[in-house]
Amino acid sequence: MTLPPVIRVALVDDHSLVRDGIKALLAVMPQLDVVGEAENGAQALEMVGRCQPDLLLMDIGLKDKNGLELTRLLGKQYPSLKILILSMYDNYEYVSESVRAGASGYVLKNAPSREIIAAIEAIISGSTFYSAEIAQRLATDPSTDNELTPRESQVLYQMVQGLNNKEMARELDISVRTVETHRLSIRRKLNIDKPAALVKYAIDHGIVSR
C-alpha cells in the first residue's frame, strides 16, 4: 500500500490526554504530520479551515457539538477531507449515523494501536475502515427498513454494470467516499454479498432490465 509522502492529520477530542496519546501513537508513521488539534466543535471548524488537514480523527462526545453533526458539516464544507471516528461508543446507532454523516471509518478508542494505524492507511488510500465487530453490525443491521434510496438504486445499477468505485463516482458526479458509503448501505439493507444475487435483486426490483 503506497501512501503519500506527507499526510496532514488533525485531532478533535475534548480530552488533552487522549489527544496526546493519539499523537504518540501516530509518531510510528513518519509521514503523518499532526497540523492541528481542537477540543470542541467551534475550534475544530476554525482549525480545519486554517490547517487544511487531509485526515481528521474525530471524537463523538464533544462539549459544544455532537461529533457526527460536525462530521456532516465539515464534509459539506470540505468534500476532500477524510474523517475517521475514534469513539468509546460501540452501539449501532452511532456507527450507522457515522456512515450517513460521511465518515470514512469508525474505530473504538480501546482498539489495538495496529487497528487504528490500519484504519488511517486504508482511509488515506481511498477505502473505508470499520473495526471487525462494527463492520459485522453494519452488515447485519436489524432494521426492517431495507428499501433503497434513489441514489442507492443508481449505485446498485452501476455496480451491476461492473463499474468500479472511481467510475461510479465519475458517472454520478459524487465522491468515491460517498460511493463507498452507499455500497455499504446497500449491503447492510439487502444483506447480499454475491454479485449474482445483486443482479437478481436489481432485475426483480426493476433497477435493471432483463
Q: Domain containing 25 — which CATH number?
A: 3.40.50.2300
Residue 159 domain flag: yes
Higher-confidence residue of 78 and 126: namely 78
Burial (CB count within 10 angstroms: exposed 0-12, middle 13-18, buried 19+), residue 63 = exposed
Residue 98 domain flag: yes
Give residue 102's pLDDT band: very low, low, confident or very high (50, 70, 90): confident
Residues 171 and 123 in one domain: no
The answer on pLDDT for 174 being more than 90 is no
Residue 21 domain flag: yes
- What is the residue range of 182's domain? 150-204
- Please state whether beta strands 82-87 and 7-12 pair in parallel, antiparallel, or not at all (unpaired): unpaired
Give the span between the Cα atoms of 122 and 119, in whole angstroms: 5
Closest by CA position to 69, among listed 103, 43, 35: 103
From residue 29, give the alpha-carbon distance in Å to each of 26, 63, 66, 115: 6, 30, 29, 13
Q: What is the pTM of this model?
A: 0.66
Residues 156 and 184 in one domain: yes
pLDDT of residue 202: 87
Instruction: Quick: pLDDT tens for 128-159.
Output: 888 766 666 665 554 435 677 778 888 999 99
Give the span between the Cα atoms of 132 and 129, in whole angstroms: 9
pLDDT of residue 42: 93
> What percent of the chain shows pLDDT beyond 90?
35
The answer on pLDDT for 70 being more than 90 is yes
pLDDT of residue 139: 59
Residues 6+ apart with CB under 8 A from 197: none
Residues 64 and 156 in one domain: no
pLDDT of residue 144: 39
Closest by CA position to 84, among listed 39, 61, 116, 46: 116
| Location of C-alpha cell 469508525 | 106
Query: Can you tell me the mean pLDDT for 197-208?
Result: 86
Residue pair 52/82 in contact (Cβ under 8 Å)? The answer is no
